[in-house]
Chains A and B, each alone.
Chain A
Amino acid sequence: MAEILEVKDIAQQEYLINMGPQHPSTHGVMRLVVSLNGEIVKNVQPHCGYIHRGIEKMCEKLTYPQIIHLTDRMDYLSAHMNNASVCLTVEKALGIEIPERVKYIRTIMDELQRIASHQLWWCAFGMDLGGLTCFFYGLRDREPILDIFEESTGSRLIQSYYTPGGLMNDIHPDFQKKVKEFIKYFRKILPEYDQLLTGNVIFQERTKGIGILSKEEAINRGLTGPSGRGSGFACDVRKRAPYHLYDKVDFKECLYEEGDTFARYKVRIDEMWESMKIIEQLIDNIPEGDYTAKMKAVIKLPEGEFFQRVETARGELICFIVSDGNKNPLRVKFRSPNLINLASLNVMSKDFKIADLVAISGSLDLVIPCMDR
């Protein structure tokens, strides 16, 4: 016979709750095993790997142009940046110079993708905290960006637009006009986001002072991207190790010192303004020229190890390729920002309520397929 516990003892014991694998606020199949003392979170143990597809292993039997279409499917909300990580690595290894026009188009596409990703994050974050209106407003404004992508690249979400050495096809003749129209529209619409959600008293009560992570802890845990910048960690790859045209354009690295959920939210809203600023500087000056550099039919990398980091909408993505001189890579490794940002979830959510765990994990903007790869 098991020993009989008194009510008082039960209240003091920790117990485990599974959040996921199918939970609406994880936005994917991820399981968080949460240790609770009453309502207070004591420990969070993430279990990932539910949609592991073995993308790194699959890359080993594909050629370099073929790898591109797999990288789209890791972090589907920043597909262009994922493509860029592989393309830049291959271009660096071969030592080829890509045309100016390609650099301009790639920078604009990356920033459009960043805005689209932050919009989707904004609407999903609002929905997690109970504001369903945000969801429709965010998706409405994301639609023009997807139309711009569809017009030039042929797809809406998973574009496979970059190739080693350039682009799949040239931009559509209407591209510049459409982008300028969108920027004009979105500059008017973005203050609406602040009125709807940022100033809302319920939202502020649920995010301010919740999930605090100090700068030292953020650096120790390798928290990058907007989440890291919310803790004051200056980790923007676009500033630290510029690629594309980021060393030529003028933009601000958005930093907040508070390190709470609201700071991470504010970083993303500010980044949308900064992205629009970058696009406006480039859109009128796209030079004429080829949309791809001259490449051999079969791309073979020289023997060695190659490495490139890019800033996706979630943080620092690193592509690391080991080549043995063949047309296939010997080993490919992607440093996914999502998996590493997940590591700080435990520290952030300690001693907060379980309802705050939804807000904290939402503010990290995790994309599960990129985590599992």
Chain B
Amino acid sequence: MNVVEYISGILKGVKSLLIGMKVTGSYFFRPWKIVTQQYPENRKKDVKWFYFLPLWKAHGKDTPAERKQIVMLERFKGELIMPHNEKNEHKCTGCGICEMNCPNGTIEIISIQLTTEDGKKKRAIDKHIYRMGMCTFCGLCVKTCPSDALAFTNTFEHAVFNRTKLNKVLNKEGSTLMKGVE
């Protein structure tokens, strides 16, 4: 290797480093391109823009439109729920298809026998138990439910202090079956 090659090698190396630093440096002068979000702060409704740029906090200007409150997408599989209407009625008939389709034994249905007015015996749910600690959020229960009684909500802050608090009863107390659902 002669001297010319040696020096041109060094210069090429320095040039390649400068090209890389041009990319990073350009973002230094374009702070509006920064995508980082401040998590607990952006849960609040009135997000001040300086929550995102703590260094510039002292200036304290108004909120730019694009850095608003965090919005969860509606289909996000956060937690299984059983929607109730305003009369405290749900659609679950207690057929047990969700329990059968769950791959992990997350769902357990405790059913009771009810006697209707005309003397017929009918199955109804006493408790629809959902153990979130075992759930893998595959979505088979919601997909296979014949009466659309189950749904996912997009909540995501599930941290609790005790594991037993993850076991939930989905049907509300005193709730009954919606009329017209068989």
Select one of B22, B103, B152 contacting A62, CB under 8 A. B103
- Chain B 41-92 residues near chain A, CB threshold 8 A: 73, 75-77
Closest to A133 in B: B24
What are the residues of chain A within 8 A of B143 when measuring CB–CB?
Answer: 163, 168-169
Q: Determine whether the beta carbon of A66 is less than 8 Å from that of B103.
A: yes
| A195 vs B138: C-alpha distance when bound (angstroms) | 40
Closest Cβ of chain A to B87, distance in Å, is 29
- Report which of A140, A172, A196 forms a contact with B35, defined as CB distance below 8 A: A140
Chief secondary structure at chain A's binding surface: helix
Within the complex, what minimum Cβ distance (angstroms) separates A137 from chain B? 8
Other CB < 8 Å A-B pairs besides A150-B76, A195-B23, 11 of them? A62-B103, A66-B140, A68-B138, A69-B103, A158-B136, A160-B137, A160-B139, A169-B75, A192-B23, A201-B12, A201-B17
CA separation between A321 and B101, bound complex, in Å?
21
Interface of B is mostly: helix
One of A62, A65, A155, A195 near B20 (C-beta < 8 A)? A195
Chain A residues in 8 Å Cβ range of B76: 150, 154-155
Q: Does A37 contact B (CB under 8 A)?
A: no
Which A residue's beta carbon lies closest to that of B97?
A297
Can you offer 21 A-B residue contacts whose CB atoms are under 8 A? A62-B103, A65-B101, A65-B140, A66-B138, A69-B103, A133-B20, A133-B24, A152-B75, A154-B137, A155-B77, A158-B137, A160-B137, A160-B139, A163-B143, A168-B143, A192-B23, A195-B22, A195-B23, A199-B20, A200-B16, A201-B14
CA distance A196 to B139 in the complex (A): 41
- Give Cα A163–Cα B75 distance, bound, in whole angstroms: 17
Count of interface residues, chain A, beta-carbon cutoff 8 Å: 31
Q: Are A196 and B23 in contact (CB under 8 A)?
A: yes
Q: Do A155 and B22 touch (CB < 8 A)?
A: no
Q: Does B180 make an interface contact (CB < 8 A)?
A: no
Q: Is A19 among interface residues, defined by CB-CB distance under 8 A?
A: no
Q: Does chain B have a CB within 8 A of A143?
A: yes
Q: B19 in the interface, Cβ–Cβ < 8 Å?
A: yes
Distance in angstroms between the alpha carbons of A62 and B140 in the assembled complex: 13
Q: Is B174 an interface residue (CB 8 A)?
A: no
